């Protein structure tokens, strides 16, 4: 990830986490998400089966704040972002989530709130998994 042409965050074997903080999200949501992500068995084992976690493979994470994940496109052609938490609420929760991930997996690099970040991704597989703490707390669907 680059800001003004300078690399400010990177991960090799690991996870890129695009984190959208919704209005009403709490520390409990951050803990739930950090616990789930750090244990997800999404890396291949010696048999080519997705059976290892980021911790198992000694991986790291790059966490990028991304309020646009919470866009609603139900009306018209311009997305609204009303579900996103205000920056003064989202910024500390983003930092808390990054700290929690660091406790669980070690190396975690962070994006910068409000910055014009140029984010590059090489998606191995590709594997992309969407997690929503409201759904994690609810039924097994999602």
pLDDT-based confidence at residue 14 (cuts at 50, 70, 90): very high
Verdict on whether the full-model pTM lies above 0.85? yes
Computed on alpha carbons and rounded to an integer, the radius of gyration of the chain in Å comes to 16
- What CATH class has 2-122? alpha beta
Neighbouring CB atoms inside 10 A of 23's CB total: 12
The one-character DSSP state at 138 is S
Above pLDDT 90, what percent of the chain?
70
């Amino acid at each position: 990830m680059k800001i003004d042409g300078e690399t400010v965050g990177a991960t090799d074997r690991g996870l890129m986490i695009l984190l959208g903080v919704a209005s009403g999200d709490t520390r409990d949501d951050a803990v739930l998400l950090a616990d789930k992500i750090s244990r997800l068995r999404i890396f291949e084992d010696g048999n080519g089966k997705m059976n290892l976690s980021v911790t198992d493979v000694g991986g790291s994470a790059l966490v990028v704040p991304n309020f646009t994940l919470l866009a609603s496109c139900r009306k018209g052609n311009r997305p609204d972002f009303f579900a996103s938490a205000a920056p003064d609420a989202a910024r500390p929760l983003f930092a808390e989530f990054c700290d929690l991930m660091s406790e669980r997996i070690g190396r975690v690099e962070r994006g910068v709130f409000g910055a014009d970040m140029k984010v590059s991704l090489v998606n191995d597989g590709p594997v992309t998994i969407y997690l929503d703490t409201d759904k994690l707390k609810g039924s097994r669907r999602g």
